[in-house]
Amino acid sequence: MSNTSLYPTYARADLTFERGEGVWLEASDGTRYLDFAAGIAVNGLGHAHPHLVATLTGQAEKLWHVSNVFRIPDQERLAERLCAASFADRVFFTNSGSEAIEGAIKTARRYHFVTGNPERYRLITFEGAFHGRTLGAIAAGGQAKYLEGFGPRVEGFDQVPFGDIEALKAAIGPETAGVLIEPIQGEGGIRPLPHGDLKRIREICDEAGILLLLDEVQCGIGRTGRLFAHEWAGITPDILAAAKGIGGGFPVGACMATEEAAKGMTLGTHGSTYGGNPLAMAVANAVLDVVLEPGFFERVSRLGLTLKQKLAGLVDSHPEVFETIRGEGLMLGIKCRVAPADVVAAARDQKLLTVGAGDNVLRLLPPMIVTEEEIDAAVARLDAAANDIETRIAENRRGAAE
């Protein structure tokens, strides 16, 4: 890794890319990589999608940015389209997932403030969660490795074990404003919450008079085969944070809410300098043009099942490397028996890009435009990577025995 003036906050691979097309990235030396990381679920429509490129360049020649003190027609249009396709009645646009989560937290607290219960400001969150990198978001996530060294933890979050319904019920008190949960934990290791558990959490929130907040920053915008992952459970939240795939690579996020939950977010209570500017809104509308096409979600589900079945075959072939498969649609994880960083590196040697996660999991998040042939190519490369790892394991055993 070369020395740079950047914060050394990432363990960056010594790779630079010049261009991308569809599911492929081309490095500066001309080597082509199959991209099954997609910028951690950001490039949902792949690289240089023609409709997104045409929209972005067209908008760039007209207008990039105006403040939210003016009306932005494409922002209003995108909000209307998102609401029409979901549970929501109101949308606030942001620059990132973390900012969307912050907006969701503020919306929940403000709701209870204006309904005469200002003491209700605490949110119940879950072990293994990842809600972003801002001070509020790392407090909500509750992971020690992200909190360490950043001073007092932002107050107002109570964490319980993932999926532990009884612990959740016990944690609800007179100060509880709501429950914040990812339907599928991404950073936490592609851990889906059973649909029945999500339904039960919805019921518990209703019984307690508190709000259900969903973090769909990674699992939303079509990745599981529905616009939002919670739709599989047949429930709706009160507030939802979305980002990553919503801009197809352009930094955009959204905090979405029902009319009731959003009623405290009145004039002057919140804002964003860049959130929802014309350039971002044009691209996000273009993403929706593609994602909301008839048959798009069904195709994601079908290809996700194909990939899952082929990965299951890999698990059977390489029991020393892989343990099990989990996830939904094209948001899949392989729980490994070796360090996932080793698998990421071995796959990269085979010109396949993947990304690690918590709970010893390798994440596979290909662009949703991936083809069956590209899935076959990715599985073949992952098979070769596993063979390399098994060879090293065997060599280490021989070395230890000698």
User: Binding-site residues for pyridoxal 5'-phosphate, please?
Assistant: 130, 215-218, 273
Is 382 in contact with 352 (CB distance < 8 Å)?
yes
Rounded to an integer, what distance in angstroms lies between the CA atom of residue 38 and that of residue 41?
5
CB atoms inside a 10 Å sphere around CB 388: 17
What are the binding residues?
A: 130, 133, 215-218, 272-273
Helix (H, G, I), strand (E, B) or coil at 95: coil
Structure tokens at 357: 């996660």
Is 100 in contact with 243 (CB distance < 8 Å)?
yes
In the block, tokens 């025995």 appear at 401
CB atoms inside a 10 Å sphere around CB 277: 22
Is 325 in contact with 308 (CB distance < 8 Å)?
yes
- Chain mean position to CA 287: 16
Is 77 in contact with 280 (CB distance < 8 Å)?
no
Q: How far is CA 96 from CA 288, 374, 398, in A?
A: 17, 29, 49
Region of residue 354 (left: phi > 0; alpha: psi -120 to 50; beta: else): beta
Structure tokens at 193: 């919450």
323 exposure class (CB count in 10 Å sphere: 0-12, 13-18, 19+): middle
What are the binding residues for N(2)-acetyl-L-ornithine?
A: 133, 272
Q: Which residues, other chains included, contact 230 with Cβ-Cβ below 8 Å and sequence gap of 6+?
A: 183, 198, 214, 216, 236, 237, 240
Structure tokens at 222: 């079509």
